[in-house]
Chains A and B, each alone.
Chain A
Amino acid sequence: MKKITAVLLIVLALIPSLAFAGGAGEDSSAESSGKTVIRLWTNDRHDATFWTEKVEEYNATNTDNIELSYEIYTDNIWQAVDMAFQTGEAPDIVKYDMYFDKYILDGRFVDLLPYMTDEQKELTEAVWYEGQNYIDGKLYFIPTGNTCLRLFYNKTIFDRLGLEVPETLDEMVNAAVTITNELKGEGIYGFACNLKSASNGLKRSLEPQVERGTGLRLGYDFGTGTYDFTPYIPYLEGWSTMIQQGFPGSESLDIDPLRSQFAAGKIGMYMSYTHAEPGVYVNQFPMAEGQEWGCTYLPIDGDQLYGQYFTGTPGFLFNKDGENFDAAWKAYTAIFLNVDNLREHFEQGFGISSIPAVLETADMGSDYVNNPALLKADDDVMYPKTPEEEYAQDFIVEGLDMYNTFGAIIAGQLDLEDGIADLTKRYNEVNERLISQGVYERIIYPEFARN
C-alpha cells in the first residue's frame, strides 16, 4: 500500500514537468495536417481586421499548402522577440521596429534582394532607404507604407470660432488659447497631448515639430556634430501655454483616451501619425455627430523650413534561422507585397502607401482629397542616425532624458533655461567622451546641417 502511495506521489510530482514537455509539441500538430505553418508577429492593431481577412483568404486558397499564422502582439513585442531569439523560437517573420536593428547588425535576418524578382525590385525600389532598410547593398525589409507627423484639428470647432488653420507656432498657440477661453464652459479645450509617458507623447509631436522648424534631430546638429537644445525653447514656451491652458489631465493621457475625446469634439488640436488616424475615426472611435477632423502640417516658428522625420512602415524582417524561408517569402509576397491588397489597404484608409505603383492607380478616398497633408511631402525626410540612436548601447545619459526634461518643463515643474542648459551639457558630455574614447568619430552630415 505504502509503495503504491509513493509511486502515486512521484507521478503526481512529475506532472508539472510533463506539462512543460507538452508545450513544445504544439507545432507538430499543425505539421501533421500536412501544412507548412509560417508564423508572423506584428504589433499593428489599427489594420488588424483588414490583414486578418486577407491572410484567411490566402490560407484557404493557396495551393502550396502554406498556412500563415498572423499573430498580433501589443507593446510587449520587443521582449517577446528577445525571448524568442534567446530560446530559438523566433517567428519566421516579424514586423520591423528600430529596436530590432541590433539583430540586423548581428546578421539574424535575411537579405531579401537575392530572392526578389525584377518586377518586385522595380515595384519597391522607391522605398530602399540607404542606411535604414538598405544597408551595404543588402535589403532587409520593405516598408510598403509610411507615416508622418501632422497636426489634427477639429474643423467644426475651428469653423465655429472662425479660426484659421495655424501655420506658425504663434498661430497654433493663439488658436489653442482662444478655443479654451471661448468654449471651456462646454468642456472643450484647445490642445491635448498623450503625456502619460512623456517620451511616447513627445516623440510623435514636439520632436518632429522642432525638426521641421530648426533642422535639429533629437537635439543633434548634423552640421557641427554636437547637441544643442536651445532652439527648442520657443516651442517649449508655446507648449507650456497650450498644455497648461489645454485639455485637463494631458499628463495622464494615453493616445486612445485622447482620440476618444477628440472624436467626441472635446479637443481642438493634437498631433499624431498620418497612417493611423483616418482609420481610427472610422473603426475605433467614430467622430460624434456633426464633428469633422482636418489635418495640416506641423506649425513652426519662423519661415525657414527643414525636414522632419518620417517612418517607413510596415516592413517585415525574415528570420535567417527559420526553417521555411521559401514558404514564408511566398506567403509574404502573395499577401503583403500584392499590389491589389496594398491598394485596397490604402483606399480604405488603413495606411498610407509608399509604393508608386499603388499611389498612381489608387482611388484616393475623400480623406486624402480633403487633406492632402496626410500624404508624405518633400520635407518628410529620413534623417541619418544621431549618435544616441546609432550607439544606443554606449550613449547613456544619466538623469532625466530629453523627453522627460521637456515634459517637466511643459508642466512648469522645471525651469526652462536651466533645464535646457543642463540637458545640452549632459548630452554633449556623453558625445565628447565617446568620441575621445574612440567609440565613434564625430558624426557629421553636411547635407543635414542647419543654415
Chain B
Amino acid sequence: MKITKKRLRESAVAYSLLWPNLLLFICFSLFPVIWMLKYMFFRYGGIGTTETFTGLENFMRVFRDEIYWKSVLNTFEYALGKIIITIPASFALAYILNKKIKGSGFFQSLIFLPTIMSSAVMGLVFYLLFNVYNGEINRMLMGIGLISSPINWLGADHAMHTLIIVAIWGALGNYMVYFLAGLQQIPQEVIESAEVDGATGFRKLWYITIPMMGPILKIILMLAIATAFNDMNMILVLTEGGPYNASMVMTLYAYKFFFPVSAANTVVPQFGYGAALSFVSAIIAGVITILFLRFSRKMSDM
C-alpha cells in the first residue's frame, strides 16, 4: 500500500513535469499532422473558403506533377551534396580542434557561430555576396585571377551549387560540435593502449577513433539526412526555389501551396494539395531514413 502511494506521488511529479511539453506537442506537432491527414483528401483554399472532399484526386495530381518530381530530384542533389561534404569536413575539424592546441576553443566558437545565425539572415547576406552584378565573391575571384568574367552564382546553372555551399557553411559548426562530443567520449585507455602497441597518427585515427565513433556517427548521419531533406528557410530567402524551379526542393514546393510566396493575384493557397505533397514528401524522407538505418545496421554487422 505504502509502495503504491509512493509510486503515485512519483508519477504525479513525473506527469507534472511532462504535461507542458505534452501539451505543446499535441498542439503544435500532433494536431497539425492530424489536420494535414484530413485535408490531403480535400480541396481547400484556406480560411474563408469552402472545403470539398475529393478523395484521392490530390494524390493523383502529385503523381502527374512534373515540377514536384523535379524538386524531389533536386532535394536528393541538395541533401547528398550537403552531407557528403559536411560530414567528413566537420569530423576533420572536430578531430583537429579536439587536440589541446592553443586557440582551439576560439576556433570552435568561430566555426559554431553560423549555427546560431538565423537562416533567413544568412540568405540575405549571401545574396549580397553571391549576386552577379556586384557580389563580393565574384570580385574576389576576379581579383586573384581565378575567373575572367563574373559567375552567375544564382542563375539556373549554379543556383543549386550555391545553395549547397551556403548550407555547408551553415551546418559545419553544428556537426563539428556533435563530433566533438563523440570524440570526447572515447575512453582514453583505449587510445593509450593503442599507443603502447605502437599505433601512431593515421593508423590510430583509422583503426581506433573512427570505429569507436561508429554509433554516434550513425546518429549524426541520420540527423543530417533528416535535416537536409527538410531544409527550406535559407533556400526560400536566397532563391525562392528559382530560377525556374532549378533550386526547388520538395518541402519548399509544398510550402508554396500553403503560403504563396509571391503576392501575384493569380496565386491562391491550395491547402489540400499542399497537404498531399507534404505527406508524400514525408514518406520519401521516411523511406530514405529507414533505408539508411538498415544499411548502417548491416555495416556494423560486417
A binds B: yes
A13 to B15, CA, bound (A): 10
CB distance from B161 to the nearest CB of A (A): 14
Which of B48, B159, B243 sits near A82, CB closer than 8 Å? B48
Interface locus among B63-71, B86-94, B164-172, B208-216: B63-71
CB nearest neighbor in B for A199: B264
Which chain B residues in 127-178 approach chain A with CB under 8 Å? 127, 131-134, 150, 152, 154-156, 159
Asked if A324 is an interface residue, CB under 8 A from chain B, the answer is no
CB nearest neighbor in A for B51: A393
**Interface magnitude class on chain B:** 35 or more
Interface locus among B76-84, B266-274, B285-293: B266-274
Interface locus among A52-60, A281-289, A398-406: A398-406
Asked if B239 is an interface residue, CB under 8 A from chain A, the answer is yes
B225-247 CB contact bits vs A (8 Å, 1 = yes)?
00000000000000110111100
Which of A200, A266, A413 sits near B262, CB closer than 8 Å? A200
Asked if A331 is an interface residue, CB under 8 A from chain B, the answer is no
Indicate if the CB atoms of A393 and B133 lie closer than 8 Å.
Answer: no
Indicate if the CB atoms of A203 and B12 lie closer than 8 Å.
Answer: no
A99 to B20, CA, bound (A): 37
Indicate if the CB atoms of A252 and B243 lie closer than 8 Å.
Answer: yes
CB distance from A188 to the nearest CB of B (A): 11
Interface locus among A158-166, A231-239, A243-251, A347-355: A243-251
CB distance from A283 to the nearest CB of B (A): 21
A79 to B50, CA, bound (A): 17
Chain A CB within 10 Å, residue with most, of B9, B16, B61, B64: B16
Indicate if the CB atoms of B17 and A9 lie closer than 8 Å.
Answer: yes
Indicate if the CB atoms of A198 and B266 lie closer than 8 Å.
Answer: no
Indicate if the CB atoms of A85 and B48 lie closer than 8 Å.
Answer: yes
A433 to B263, CA, bound (A): 27
CB distance from B18 to the nearest CB of A (A): 9
CB nearest neighbor in A for B258: A79
CB distance from A276 to the nearest CB of B (A): 14
Number of A-B residue pairs with CB-CB distance less than 8 Å in the complex they form: 135
A203 to B266, CA, bound (A): 9
Q: How many residues of A contact B (CB 8 A)?
A: 58
A388 to B268, CA, bound (A): 10
Indicate if the CB atoms of B243 and A407 lie closer than 8 Å.
Answer: yes
Indicate if the CB atoms of B243 and A411 lie closer than 8 Å.
Answer: yes
CB nearest neighbor in B for A5: B13
User: Do A392 and B263 form a contact, CB below 8 Å, given A6-B9, A9-B17, A261-B133?
Assistant: no
Indicate if the CB atoms of A389 and B244 lie closer than 8 Å.
Answer: no
Asked if B265 is an interface residue, CB under 8 A from chain A, the answer is yes
Which of B9, B61, B133 sits near A398, CB closer than 8 Å? B61
A92-124 CB contact bits vs B (8 Å, 1 = yes)?
000001110011001010000000000000000
A200 to B261, CA, bound (A): 9
Contacts of A381 in B (CB 8 A): none
CB distance from A131 to the nearest CB of B (A): 15
A389 to B267, CA, bound (A): 9
A203 to B46, CA, bound (A): 23
User: Do A102 and B65 form a contact, CB below 8 Å, given A248-B132, A252-B155, A407-B243?
Assistant: no
Contacts of B242 in A (CB 8 A): 195-198, 251-252, 407
Indicate if the CB atoms of B244 and A404 lie closer than 8 Å.
Answer: yes
CB nearest neighbor in B for A400: B67
Asked if B23 is an interface residue, CB under 8 A from chain A, the answer is yes
Asked if A336 is an interface residue, CB under 8 A from chain B, the answer is no
Contacts of A257 in B (CB 8 A): 127, 131
**What are 13 A-B contacts with C-beta separation under 8 Å?**
A2-B9, A5-B13, A6-B9, A6-B13, A13-B20, A16-B24, A99-B265, A102-B48, A200-B264, A248-B132, A257-B131, A261-B134, A411-B243
Using a CB–CB cutoff of 8 Å, the interface residues on chain A facing chain B are 2, 5-6, 9-10, 13-17, 75, 78-79, 82-83, 85-86, 97-99, 102-103, 106, 108, 187, 195-200, 203, 218, 247-249, 251-252, 257, 261, 266, 388-389, 392-393, 396, 398-404, 407-408, 411, 413-414
Known: A102-B49, A196-B242, A396-B273. 4 other contacts (CB 8 A): A196-B239, A251-B243, A400-B67, A403-B266
